[in-house]
């Protein structure tokens, strides 16, 4: 697709964003990650406060950017990155609420597939239900890195909801289907990657446990998910 840059949502010129982008919902977390992990990070975006940076990590050119909350928001940013900036790979690193009884605060979830109540995929006019899934090679490498580092993790289906405050709670129903955790973005990222012929993966760290009441503070969510980042950045090896 033609390089229509800058876009209405990303102020970078073509070429200022790396082929691999790590994305976090909170732009301040993206800033924290860029300053903590990248060498010589250069800010390429501040449109609507959605911070983005490009630098290097162990010799690899990498970008880190916020994507906001929810499927529509990540849908916009990932679409523009894939289609207008020729990004090849997007890895979302974020938080999720645990549904599975064996997941605890700080555990890692690798989202192999994404269940959802969103109609995002209806835009494709498919004669059936599209199953948004991760790139297998990225998922395989993430599992290998978590194993190598000895981190607690699980791999499987996650649930991505358009609704944060549900009028009719559904957690127990999804848990009965073996869904590991809940977040709010994966299907749009996976659909956009599939449609563009690109690669995507969602890696989440557990920030709260729906059935036990375990929670972390907002400050911890922004600064303390280093295990997840170790796994994500290990994809560059």
CA distance 89 to 227: 20
Selecting among 86, 88, 162, 208, the annotated active-site residue is: 208
* SS3 call for 30: helix
Distances (CA, A) of 22 to 26, 130, 133, 224: 12, 25, 17, 17
Catalytic residue flag (residue 107): no
Residue pair 199/138 in contact (Cβ under 8 Å)? The answer is: yes
Tokens of 227: 């295990």
Place of tokens 């390089």: 3
Residue pair 81/16 in contact (Cβ under 8 Å)? The answer is: no
Residues labelled catalytic: 208
């Amino acid at each position: 697709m033609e390089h229509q840059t800058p876009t209405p949502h990303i102020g970078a010129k073509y070429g200022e964003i790396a082929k691999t982008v790590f994305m976090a919902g909170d732009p301040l977390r993206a800033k924290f990650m860029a300053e903590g992990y990248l060498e010589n990070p250069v800010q390429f975006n501040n449109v609507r406060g959605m911070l983005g940076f490009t630098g290097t990590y162990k010799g690899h050119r990498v970008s880190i950017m916020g994507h906001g909350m929810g499927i529509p928001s990540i849908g916009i940013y990932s679409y523009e990155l894939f289609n207008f900036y020729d990004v090849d790979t997007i890895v979302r690193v974020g938080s999720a609420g645990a549904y599975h009884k064996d997941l605890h605060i700080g555990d890692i979830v690798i989202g192999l597939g994404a269940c959802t109540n969103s109609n995002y995929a209806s835009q494709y006019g498919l004669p059936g239900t599209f199953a948004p899934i991760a790139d297998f090679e990225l998922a395989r490498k993430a599992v290998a890195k978590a194993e190598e580092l000895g981190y607690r993790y699980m791999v499987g289906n996650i649930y991505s909801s358009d609704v944060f405050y549900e009028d009719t709670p559904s957690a127990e129903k999804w848990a009965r289907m073996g869904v590991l955790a809940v977040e709010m973005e994966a299907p749009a990222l996976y659909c956009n990657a599939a449609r563009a012929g690109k690669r995507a993966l969602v890696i989440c760290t557990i920030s709260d446990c729906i059935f036990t009441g375990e929670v972390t503070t907002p400050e911890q969510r922004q600064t303390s998910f280093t295990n997840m980042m170790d796994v994500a950045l290990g994809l560059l090896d």
